[in-house]
């Protein structure tokens, strides 16, 4: 439809130019927008305003000329008008508007699919928590966000892969091992100092207790270094498993679990560093190996190998990104916490140093989550280990509400998560509001079946009976799904899906109040059952992308 109208406008402009009604000027891409106000029609363009600004003619005059040359025979449109300062407004015919219901029936779960992604291969890497502790609430946000983004991008025609990068190597691991070691020794009554930078959470004590009960005191005989190593090897896979379990619980699954450790074992880190050195992008100074990131706009050069011989996290991350590039993705999206923002120019520079186009890497920086209970912020401290884990949140508010709430805000704004609201089973809670619309429709359809109402596919004439303003508005909303999908995918903004879901649910609830679906009029009943089925399908698709269930009864 959009393309059709754009062609219509283009042809009219060409024609007008030919006739000399408007001067020869370069016309940029024609954009159609959905006007905010109903009176402004279904689609509008500001092209006349843009053209006029280059010619000195009045915008309305230009708009009038363009409309004058437009082919108005189309049965899809009922009206083309010049309005306001020079907008051209288009109005769909009711038949065209209603035809979307047939399209939904035909496409089913594929309705709203778009091809803007052009089948490009995209990798989305998200969560990527260190396997040294349970996932916290912030991880939950990125799990929900990354997963929904992947869903919406694949609906928009990208080939998407989900990846989790496991930081199972290096100092975090050691810290993890030393922390457990210290708690274990404490349990044995040994006088050990807990590491100042150790993980203070209670779960570390639990692990130590479990080790004591499983292995007894025999471990204490080993020397510290050996023991810490052993603890790491035993416990990080356990932790990783529990992370996977939590993510599964949220309905998030990854295509690839990529291990940092294996990158080292395969010699990839070494190879990558050598490559950079050979290219002259890295150099030795003060006993350390530095990457010349300043060449590519970074503030200062960055260390790859410390003077103590240990590679930095940056070094393995570069090797990791090289691996991603070599895997041939057209686009790689990393979802990182906002505290990594200083890291972005560095990584981009590294990409260039390796000879890759840095635009193949996109980093989404996510802001923090603040929990509120009883109107008060819930205090959390990483230092004391007082955190609310993702599992605890899921226990308390449930998966659907958690996912929905995590997805309500754009990734670059802070998220205030109101626990009390998320738990409420009332219309204030948008999750239930949307799910209720779905359940209500299922209930209507059950009733229809029960009384044996005619639910066969209606004819176009049947559908002509759908002429209440609320029902037309509702059907129009269904037709917007494709562009919502495109917007969410292109802007990496899955949060807009929640707004769309709420708009749709609200229109449906209004429709339900004003229009009875099952009536004595068989044709009207067929039409309304069909319409309501379409609404249910779209709600299902949207909730599916959000990762929220669509219940048939509540």
Partner RNA sequence: GCCCCCGUAGCUCAACUGGAUAGAGCAACAGACUUCUAAUCUGUAGGUUGCAGGUUCGAGUCCUGCCGGGGGUGCCA
- In terms of CB distance, is 211 or 418 closer to RNA? 418
* Residues 6+ away with beta carbon under 8 Å from 295: 281, 349, 352, 353
For residues 192, 193, 199 and 201, what is the CA-based torsion angle, rounded to 10 degrees? 70
Q: What would the two tokens of residue 364 be?
A: 């989404």
**Cβ-Cβ contacts under 8 Å for 366 (sequence gap 6 or more):** 138, 141, 142, 145, 335, 336, 337, 338, 411, 412
Count CB-CB contacts under 10 A for residue 467.
Answer: 11
Whole-number Cα distances in Å, 340 to 103, 198, 299, 459: 44, 21, 15, 57
Cβ atoms of 3 and 30 closer than 8 Å: no
Nearest to 208 by CA among 176, 237, 173, 170: 176
Contact in structure between 445 and 512 (CB atoms under 8 Å): no
* Assigned token pair, 225: 């270094």
**Pairing relation of β-strands 77-83 and 87-92?**
antiparallel
Residues 105-109: contacts with CB under 8 Å, at least 24 apart:
105/457, 105/530, 105/533, 105/534, 108/537, 109/537, 109/540, 109/541, 109/544
Q: Quick one: 246 or 429, whose CB is closer to RNA? A: 429
Nearer to RNA, 278 or 553 (CB): 553
Q: How far is the CB of 59 from RNA (least distance, A)?
A: 6
Q: Which is nearer to RNA, 212 or 380 (CB)?
A: 380
Residue 216 beta carbon to RNA: minimum distance, rounded to whole angstroms: 33
Q: Of 250 and 369, which CB lies nearer to RNA in the complex structure?
A: 369
Cβ proximity to RNA: between 55 and 154 the closer is: 55
189 or 452, CB closer to RNA? Answer: 452
Count of Cβ atoms closer than 10 Å to residue 449 Cβ? 11
Query: Smallest distance, Å, CB 495 to RNA?
Result: 6
- Compute the distance between CA of residue 414 and CA of residue 417 in angstroms, rounded to an integer: 10
Q: How far is the CB of 219 from RNA (least distance, A)?
A: 26
Least distance in angstroms from the C-beta of 231 to RNA: 18
CB of 328 to RNA, least distance (A): 26
Strand partners of residue 389: 136
164: closest CA among 121, 120, 119, 123?
Answer: 123
> Judged by CB, which is closer to RNA: 227, or 531?
531
Nearer to RNA, 220 or 344 (CB): 344
CB of 183 to RNA, least distance (A): 21
Nearest distance in Å: CB 187, RNA: 28
Extract the tokens encoding 515: 């229009």
Q: In the bound complex, what is the minimum distance in angstroms from residue 188's beta carbon to RNA?
A: 29
């Amino acid at each position: 439809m959009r393309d059709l109208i754009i062609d219509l406008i283009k042809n009219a402009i060409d024609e007008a130019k030919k006739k000399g009604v408007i001067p020869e000027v370069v016309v940029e891409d024609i954009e159609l927008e959905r006007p905010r106000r109903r009176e402004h029609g279904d689609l509008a363009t500001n092209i006349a305003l843009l053209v006029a600004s280059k010619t000195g003619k009045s915008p309305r005059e230009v708009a009038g000329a363009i409309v004058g040359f437009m082919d108005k025979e189309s049965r899809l449109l009922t009206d083309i008008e010049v309005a306001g300062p020079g907008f051209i407004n288009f109005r769909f015919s009711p038949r065209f508007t209603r035809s979307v219901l047939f399209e939904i029936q035909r496409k089913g779960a594929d309705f709203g699919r778009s091809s803007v992604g052009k089948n490009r291969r995209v990798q989305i890497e998200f969560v990527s928590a260190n396997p040294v502790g349970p996932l916290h609430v912030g991880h939950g946000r990125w799990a929900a966000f990354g997963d929904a983004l992947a869903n919406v991008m694949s609906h928009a025609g990208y080939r998407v892969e989900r990846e989790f990068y496991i930081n199972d190597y290096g100092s975090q691991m050691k810290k993890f091992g030393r922390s457990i070691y210290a708690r274990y020794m404490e349990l044995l009554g040994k006088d050990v100092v807990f590491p100042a930078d150790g993980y203070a959470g209670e779960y570390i004590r639990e692990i130590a207790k479990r080790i004591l009960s499983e292995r007894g005191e025999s471990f204490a005989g080993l020397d510290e270094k050996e023991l810490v190593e052993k603890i790491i090897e035993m416990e990080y896979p356990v932790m990783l498993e529990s992370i996977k379990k939590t993510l599964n619980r949220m309905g998030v699954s990854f295509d690839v679990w990529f291990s940092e450790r294996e990158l080292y074992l395969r010699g990839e880190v070494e190879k990558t560093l050598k490559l950079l050195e050979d290219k002259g992008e890295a150099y030795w100074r003060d006993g350390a190996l530095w990457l010349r990131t300043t060449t590519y706009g970074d503030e200062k050069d960055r260390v790859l190998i410390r003077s103590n011989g240990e590679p930095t996290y940056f070094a393995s991350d570069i090797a990791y990104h090289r691996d991603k590039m070599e895997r041939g993705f057209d686009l790689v999206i990393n979802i990182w916490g906002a505290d990594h923002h200083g890291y972005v120019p560095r990584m981009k520079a590294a990409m260039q140093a390796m000879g890759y186009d840095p635009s193949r890497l996109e980093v989404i920086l996510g802001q923090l989550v603040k929990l509120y209970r009883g109107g008060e912020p819930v205090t959390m401290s990483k230092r004391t280990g007082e955190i609310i884990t993702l599992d605890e949140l899921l226990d308390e508010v449930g998966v659907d509400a958690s996912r929905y709430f995590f997805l309500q805000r754009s990734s670059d704004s802070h998220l205030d998560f109101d626990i009390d609201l998320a738990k409420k089973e009332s219309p204030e809670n948008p999750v239930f509001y949307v799910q209720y619309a779905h359940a209500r429709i299922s209930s209507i359809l059950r009733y229809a079946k029960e009384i044996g109402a005619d639910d066969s596919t209606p004819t176009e004439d049947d559908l002509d009976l759908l002429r209440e303003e609320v029902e037309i508005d509702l059907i129009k909303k269904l037709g917007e799904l494709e562009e919502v999908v495109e917007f969410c995918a292109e802007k990496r903004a899955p949060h807009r899906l929640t707004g769309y879901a709420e708009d749709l649910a609200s229109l449906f609830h209004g429709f339900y109040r004003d229009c009875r679906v099952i009536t004595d009029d068989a044709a009207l009943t067929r039409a309304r059952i069909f319409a309501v089925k379409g609404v249910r399908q779209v709600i299902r698709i949207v909730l599916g992308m959000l990762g929220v269930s669509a219940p048939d009864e509540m």
